[in-house]
Amino acid sequence: MCGIVGVVSNKDVSHKLYEGLKNLEYRGYDSVGMCFLHNKSFLQKKGVGKLAEVQKKVNFLRFKGNIGIAHCRWSTHGGVTEANAHPHSDCSNRISVVHNGIIENYSKLKDELVKKGHEFTSQTDTEVIAHLIEDNLKGYSIEKAIQLALKKLEGSYALGILHADSPSKLFAARNESPLILGVGNNENFIASDVPSILGYTNKVVYLDDKEIAVLMKGSFKVFDLDGRQLRKKINVINWSREAAEKGGFKHFMLKEIYEQPRAIADTLNGRAANNHVVFDKEFGLSENYLRKIKKILILACGTSWHAALVGEFMIEELARIPTEVQYASEFRYRHALLDKDTLVIAISQSGETADTIAALREAKKQGVKTLSICNVMGSSITRISDGVIYTRAGPEIGVASTKAFTTQLSVLYLLTILLSKLRKTLNEGQVKSMIECIRKIPMQLPAVLHEDDEILRCAELYHKRTNSLYLGRGVNFPIALEGALKLKEVSYIHAEGYPAAEMKHGPIALIDKNMPVVFIAPHDIYTYSKILGNIEEVKSRGGIVIAIATEGDKEIPKKADHTIFIPKTLYTLSSILAAIPLQLLAYHIADKLGRDVDRPRNLAKSVVVE
Ligand code: F6R
């Protein structure tokens, strides 16, 4: 996914732009470029490939200039070529633009500009922005020209803009695409996310939609599209730069898997004690309202959608509120009818997933209350919803979501307890014991992580298999889906998740001696004996069984080829513990296959296009 960094400083900025782009590499990209403004003229370089490859060819670090913009591109309009890489310029090469997002009316704008004599050098939607500003510059200041140009754009944009005749100013703007300002000491930044500039400042301003920022080295101002100055809050971020680095692990994904005891402990911290659940002030929904809701609809994509399915199970089972889960991408085109007593919850690690944002907006149009569960402070989803519960996983850099998922489950569990308590579906004693059990989870996780040797053995034995099945039931059916997704995305091995009982309705035909089948089979009073039967069915057809079982289970190790144990906990909470061996299994298999684990092919960390 595209990423932007920009700096205006009292020193040369090339190192900061380079480091900023390096920190954005996790998003996935196909080309990079930078533009420096020096002595009122541009030095612009770009190329196709990873940052280090392009650096070898052009050596960005040799360029002078106290002001510059940089970009990594993940193609949407126009092929992967040097001409299509950002930055893009106008005809006179006095305006330089980097852009994330999609300009939906670019082709109409381009036709109009071409008729007026503008000459284009790329196939991108971005280039129209540079020409449009140039077109509006006649007779106006650059600030006014940017305002006029932006008013004509339809679609999403985060922009960094340089104007050669305004050599002390860096311009930025956003609409439906993330962009932050970083406030430094004698220098200011723009960036697509916080970790990319954390090495330089932890003071951040979140730009909102249709806002324009003008940054100089010692000050910044933010305006609306009519030029009215706005007051913006400076937020202090408490993520350290080290938190966003690998900390001795081979990959971010592995580091993030091992961080889960801390991430869950932080997520619970101050929110659950004795028989009380209290969320932070951003939660924003009154107890009175929560007592009255008649239905919950959860919207999300990918891994967050799997968390939503676990949430559905928890809320219906314990709080007894009818709950439905929909893919955000489907919901937005369904013309769904929402009752005003429905609470809509959006789950998103990044808070910037385009489909989830659009679905949330669609829900809001129908006048319902909305709550987001999100990991990134101040991200778009959190600003659209009426209330927010932050997962406190810290920056998740690996493209495959791990710690964000288990912290989402932890938050959903706390929310379930709160709802159950308010609606009196559980008594005080039950609430207290549920809180005790979730508070134990961070202490139980190291035991799960200690199972890594057996998991690594499975990876060594089976990493060359080309298919696998993941089977679970009840609250652990979504965990089967999540295990299969993890394997697919990081190892590129085909994997499918199914409710275990569905196996005999089709997938059983696939079982042979080459098929590893992962059973998520912690002990429970409902379906455990049925799952034992399913394991037999796989074994009798020659399949390979890897089972996740509760410690002390004597039956499963007799039947399975490999058993990975998780500690005893409540049935609903077994989903959190069971997710971790599946993350490790996917990681080790991908690593054995030499995959680019943190940046799997074709994937992006934040899917900010539809
Ligand atoms: C899978 C993964 C994706 C995301 C999905 C939604 O490991 O990371 O499936 O879960 O793109 O992203 P968020 O949660 O940021 O909305």
The CATH number of the domain holding residue 589 is 3.40.50.10490
144 and 179 fall within a common domain = yes
Q: Which of 396, 413, 444 is the last residue of a domain?
A: 444
Measured in degrees and rounded to the nearest 5, phi and psi for residue 507 equal -60, -20
Distance 304 CA to ligand 1 centre (A): 6
Distance 301 CA to ligand 1 centre (A): 6
DSSP 447: H
DSSP 415: H
484 and 427 fall within a common domain = no
Assess contact for 31 and 48: CB atoms under 8 A.
Answer: yes
Three-state SS at 393: coil
Q: At 305, which helix (H) or strand (E)? A: helix 302-314
408 and 259 fall within a common domain = yes
Strand 516-520 vs strand 544-550: parallel, antiparallel, or unpaired? Answer: parallel
605 is known as an active-site residue: yes
257 and 170 fall within a common domain = no
- What is the reported pLDDT for 34? 97
As averages over each run of 10 residues, the pLDDT of the chain (610 residues) reads: 91 95 78 94 94 94 95 78 94 96 89 97 95 94 97 93 97 91 97 88 93 97 97 85 68 94 89 89 93 97 98 97 97 88 97 94 95 88 94 88 98 98 95 96 95 96 96 97 98 96 88 94 90 94 96 96 97 97 98 94 74
- What is the reported pLDDT for 102? 78
Distance 348 CA to ligand 1 centre (A): 7
Q: Which of 180, 213, 243 is the last residue of a domain?
A: 243
Assess contact for 238 and 405: CB atoms under 8 A.
Answer: no
2 is known as an active-site residue: yes
**512: number of Cβ within 10 Å:** 11
Q: Is 348 in the pocket of ligand 1 (CB under 6 A)?
A: yes
Distance 371 CA to ligand 1 centre (A): 18
- Domain presence at residue 223: yes
433 and 479 fall within a common domain = no
Catalytic residue among 110, 210, 421, 605: 605
Structural domains counted in the chain: 3
Three-state SS at 188: strand
- Domain presence at residue 569: yes
The length of the chain in residues reads 610
Atom of ligand 1 nearest to the CA of 300: 16
CATH number where 179 lies: 3.60.20.10
Q: Is 358 in the pocket of ligand 1 (CB under 6 A)?
A: no
Tokens representing residue 249 in the block: 């692990």
Q: Which of 417, 444, 471 is the last residue of a domain?
A: 444
Note the Cα 1 to chain centre separation in Å: 11
424 and 515 fall within a common domain = no
List of residues 6+ apart from 31 with CB closer than 8 A: 46, 47, 48, 49, 54, 72, 73, 75, 80, 81, 82, 84, 85
Q: At 316, which helix (H) or strand (E)? A: none
- Domain presence at residue 309: yes
- Domain presence at residue 606: no
Assess contact for 459 and 594: CB atoms under 8 A.
Answer: no
275 and 363 fall within a common domain = yes
Rounded distance between C-alpha atoms, residue 437 and residue 92, angstroms: 66
| Ligand 1 pocket: which of 303, 379, 605 to mutate (most atoms within 8 A of CB) | 303
| Ligand 1 pocket: which of 304, 306, 409, 608 to mutate (most atoms within 8 A of CB) | 304
- Domain presence at residue 610: no
- Domain presence at residue 285: yes
List of residues 6+ apart from 284 with CB closer than 8 A: 371, 386, 387, 388
Q: What is the pLDDT of residues 364-421, one digit of tens each?
A: 999 999 999 999 877 889 989 999 999 988 888 899 999 999 999 999 999 999 999 9
Region class of 145: left (phi > 0), else alpha (psi between -120 and 50), else beta: alpha
220 and 324 fall within a common domain = no
- What is the reported pLDDT for 334? 85
- Domain presence at residue 502: yes
Q: Residue 50 belongs to what domain range?
A: 3-243
List of residues 6+ apart from 326 with CB closer than 8 A: 297, 298, 299, 334, 336, 359
Tokens 């069915």 found at: 537
- What is the reported pLDDT for 579? 98
Q: What is the pLDDT of residues 444-474, one digit of tens each?
A: 999 999 999 999 999 999 999 999 999 999 9
Q: Is 356 in the pocket of ligand 1 (CB under 6 A)?
A: yes
519 and 392 fall within a common domain = no
Atom of ligand 1 nearest to the CA of 350: 15
Rounded distance between C-alpha atoms, residue 341 and residue 293, angstroms: 5
258 and 169 fall within a common domain = no
Distance 179 CA to ligand 1 centre (A): 19
